[in-house]
């Protein structure tokens, strides 16, 4: 039976167990509905009203939500069969030929009640549930003369209990769907924020380098044109790396065929970890920029958790980008790594005095430090960024390296 809500926003392929349960449910419902025409024929009743109710109800229950047309809303697919059943009950009170009832109609209406409570919009859920529940309890009125002679509770109580159970199950599944939707939305938001942070870290770093080297090339064009080639080569390389970073991020957001490869840890390692940190620092200054040195303590293990290595790489990358933006007069930049007491200490400091030659719009809005603080805090570490005692600026991050238990 198709009791699942539409999955356009939250696509989840059915598991083998779900497929078996659905097939079992459809088979059981088909067997129950097959009994209704037999009961009608055996009692000499008119057959077409029974077939009409069952065909509408089965179509509403079994029709896959993913393939239903836009106009076939949950409230329509539950209200129409329930309304036809109520109409049949009203006519059966005056016509003996139509007065019939079988287990199939009751089973279909119970499934529709579950669907109404689970999938209808909040504005329509109560109305459709009352309409469908009324149709279920109303079938007893087709035999009011028999019920009056017998004990009414003998007939009404089991049906009322089944109605309450299916309505409660629909409400429970609705709450589970809502929780799952909220969890999926939060997960997607967190993933997109992480991707946005990565995109900012990589692209801002490369684009800032392009801007600085372009400014240098413009100055050298008039005085030292012979030295332009290394600068232009650096601009080309930075542009290619920025495009690659954007291509990777867009591929992750689109979720295409390469998503699995992009999410592979080995691929992510190539995007930034301690093994590529030396290349980042060596390529910072270029032919005309400040000299950058990396001091790696021998105490730093090589098998640190990847999330710690990635965070260390991003910290250094953002710090170097900020040197280009806010300390263009710096002549020396030092990057140091040390490890003690299960903590990786990452330090980046420069000797600049705050000279910025870049346009105001290119100096950033503080999102890099905010993103780094969130990344470091999520790992249980601390981040400090501020002026040094003499002159210059420093960024110090302490990252726990012991894996935390989930």
SS (H, E, C) 240-271: HHHHHHHHHHHHHHHCCCCHHHHCCHHHHHHC
Judgement on whether residues 143 and 264 belong to the same structural domain of the protein: no
Q: Length of the chain in residues, anyone?
A: 406
Q: Is residue 101 part of a domain?
A: yes
Judgement on whether residues 131 and 208 belong to the same structural domain of the protein: no
Rounded average pLDDT over 217-240 = 71
Mean per-residue pLDDT over the chain, rounded: 78
Classified as helix, coil or strand, 338 is: strand
Q: Is residue 164 part of a domain?
A: no
Judgement on whether residues 224 and 101 belong to the same structural domain of the protein: no
Confidence label for 272 from pLDDT (cuts 50, 70 and 90):
low
Residues 325, 326, 328, 332, CA torsion sign: negative
Judgement on whether residues 213 and 329 belong to the same structural domain of the protein: yes
Rounded average pLDDT over 82-105 = 87
Answer whether residue 404 shows pLDDT above 60: no
Contacts of 128 (CB under 8 A, 6+ apart): 74, 75, 78, 79, 82, 116, 120
Q: What are phi and psi of 148, to 5 degrees?
A: -65, -40
Complete edge-to-edge strand list for the sheet that includes strand 343-350:
291-296, 332-340, 343-350, 393-400, 382-387
Q: Is residue 155 part of a domain?
A: no
Which residue bears the tokens 């705050």?
A: 354
Judgement on whether residues 129 and 215 belong to the same structural domain of the protein: no
Radius of gyration of the chain (CA): 34
Judgement on whether residues 107 and 190 belong to the same structural domain of the protein: no
Whole-number Å distance between alpha carbons of 236 and 256: 28
Judgement on whether residues 206 and 295 belong to the same structural domain of the protein: yes
Judgement on whether residues 193 and 44 belong to the same structural domain of the protein: no
Q: Is residue 156 part of a domain?
A: no
Burial 104-124 (b: 16+ CB within 10 A, else e): bbbbbbbbbbbbbbbbbeeeb
Q: How many other β-carbons are positioned within 10 Å of the β-carbon of residue 146?
A: 11
Judgement on whether residues 140 and 236 belong to the same structural domain of the protein: no
Confidence label for 225 from pLDDT (cuts 50, 70 and 90):
confident
Classified as helix, coil or strand, 72 is: coil
Q: Is residue 175 part of a domain?
A: no
- DSSP one-letter string for 349-374: EE-------S-GGGS--SHHHHHHHH
Among 150, 176, 210, the domain boundary falls at: 150
- State pTM to two decimals: 0.54
Judgement on whether residues 263 and 341 belong to the same structural domain of the protein: yes
Q: How many other β-carbons are positioned within 10 Å of the β-carbon of residue 5?
A: 18
Answer whether residue 308 shows pLDDT above 80: yes
| CATH number (domain holding residue 388) | 3.30.565.10
Exposure of 207 in the CB half-sphere (CA atoms within 13 A): 15
Answer whether residue 405 shows pLDDT above 80: no
Answer whether residue 74 shows pLDDT above 60: yes
Element (H, E) at 347: strand 343-350
Q: What pLDDT is attached to residue 158?
A: 87
Rounded average pLDDT over 250-270 = 49
Rounded average pLDDT over 163-174 = 93
Judgement on whether residues 194 and 144 belong to the same structural domain of the protein: no
Output 30 or 272, whichever has higher pLDDT.
30
Answer whether residue 95 shows pLDDT above 70: yes
Tokens of 31: 């067997």
In the chain, pLDDT over 90 holds for what percent of residues?
Answer: 24
Q: Is residue 112 part of a domain?
A: yes
> What letter does residue 125 receive in the DSSP assignment?
H
* 116 touches 92 (CB < 8 A): no
Q: How many domains does the chain have?
A: 2
Closest C-alpha to 249, from 210, 198, 307, 321: 198
Q: What pLDDT is attached to residue 63?
A: 83
Element (H, E) at 397: strand 393-400
Element (H, E) at 340: strand 332-340
Query: 44-53, 151-160, 168-177, 235-244: which has the minimum mean pLDDT?
Result: 235-244
Q: Is residue 139 part of a domain?
A: yes
Judgement on whether residues 188 and 83 belong to the same structural domain of the protein: no
* 40 touches 100 (CB < 8 A): yes
Q: Is residue 5 part of a domain?
A: no
Whole-number Å distance between alpha carbons of 331 and 198: 28
Classified as helix, coil or strand, 337 is: strand
Whole-number Å distance between alpha carbons of 212 and 288: 10
Rounded average pLDDT over 296-315 = 87
398: β partners: 345, 382
Answer whether residue 257 shows pLDDT above 50: no
Q: What pLDDT is attached to residue 168?
A: 94
Rounded average pLDDT over 124-151 = 81
Whole-number Å distance between alpha carbons of 31 and 254: 45
Answer whether residue 263 shows pLDDT above 60: no
| Helix, strand, coil % in the chain, rounded to nearest 5 | 65, 10, 25
> What letter does residue 69 receive in the DSSP assignment?
-
Find the Cα–Cα–Cα–Cα dihedral 120, 121, 124, 128, rounded to 10°: 10
> What letter does residue 14 receive in the DSSP assignment?
P
335: β partners: 294, 348
Among 101, 130, 150, the domain boundary falls at: 150
Whole-number Å distance between alpha carbons of 24 and 18: 10
Whole-number Å distance between alpha carbons of 194 and 200: 10
Which residue segment(s) compose the domain that 76 sits in? 16-150
pLDDT tens column, 275-304: 888 888 887 766 656 788 899 888 888 889
Rounded average pLDDT over 162-191 = 89
Confidence label for 2 from pLDDT (cuts 50, 70 and 90):
very low
Q: What pLDDT is attached to residue 6?
A: 44
Output 195 or 23, whichever has higher pLDDT.
23
């Amino acid at each position: 039976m198709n009791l699942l809500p539409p999955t356009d926003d939250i696509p989840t392929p059915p598991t083998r167990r779900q497929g078996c349960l659905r097939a079992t449910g459809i088979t059981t419902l088909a067997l129950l509905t097959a009994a209704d025409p037999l009961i009608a024929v055996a009692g000499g009743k008119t057959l077409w009203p029974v077939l009409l109710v069952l065909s509408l109800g089965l179509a509403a229950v079994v029709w896959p939500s993913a393939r239903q047309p836009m106009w076939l809303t949950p409230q329509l697919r539950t209200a129409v069969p329930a309304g036809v059943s109520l109409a049949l009950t009203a006519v059966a009170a005056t016509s003996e030929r139509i007065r019939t009832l079988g287990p199939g109609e009751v089973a279909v209406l119970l499934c529709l009640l579950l669907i109404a409570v689970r999938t209808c919009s909040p504005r329509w859920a109560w109305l459709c549930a009352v309409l469908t529940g009324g149709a279920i309890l109303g079938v007893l009125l087709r035999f009011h003369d028999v019920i009056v002679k017998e004990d009414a509770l003998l007939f009404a109580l089991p049906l009322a209990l089944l109605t309450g159970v299916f309505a409660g199950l629909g409400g429970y599944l609705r709450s589970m769907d809502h929780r799952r939707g909220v969890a999926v939305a939060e997960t997607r938001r967190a993933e997109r924020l992480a991707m946005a942070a990565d995109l900012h870290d990589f692209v801002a770093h490369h684009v800032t380098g392009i801007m600085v080297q372009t400014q240098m090339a413009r100055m050298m064009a008039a005085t030292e044109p012979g030295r332009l080639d290394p600068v232009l080569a650096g601009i080309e390389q930075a542009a290619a790396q920025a495009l690659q970073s954007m291509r990777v991020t867009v591929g992750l957001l689109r979720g295409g065929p390469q998503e699995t490869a992009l999410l592979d840890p080995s691929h992510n390692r190539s995007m930034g970890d301690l093994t590529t940190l030396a290349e980042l620092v060596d390529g910072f200054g270029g032919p005309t920029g400040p000299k950058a040195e990396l001091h790696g303590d021998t105490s730093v293990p090589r098998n640190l958790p990847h999330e710690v290595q990635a965070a260390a790489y991003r910290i250094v990358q953002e710090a170097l980008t900020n040197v280009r933006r806010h300390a263009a007069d710096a002549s020396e930049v030092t990057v140091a790594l040390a490890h003690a007491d299960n903590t990786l200490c990452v330090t980046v400091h420069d000797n600049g005095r705050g000279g910025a030659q870049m346009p105001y719009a290119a100096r950033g809005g503080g999102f890099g430090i905010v993103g780094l603080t969130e990344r470091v805090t999520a790992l249980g570490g601390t981040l400090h960024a501020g002026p040094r005692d003499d002159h210059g600026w420093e960024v110090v991050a302490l990252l726990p390296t012991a894996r935390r238990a989930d």
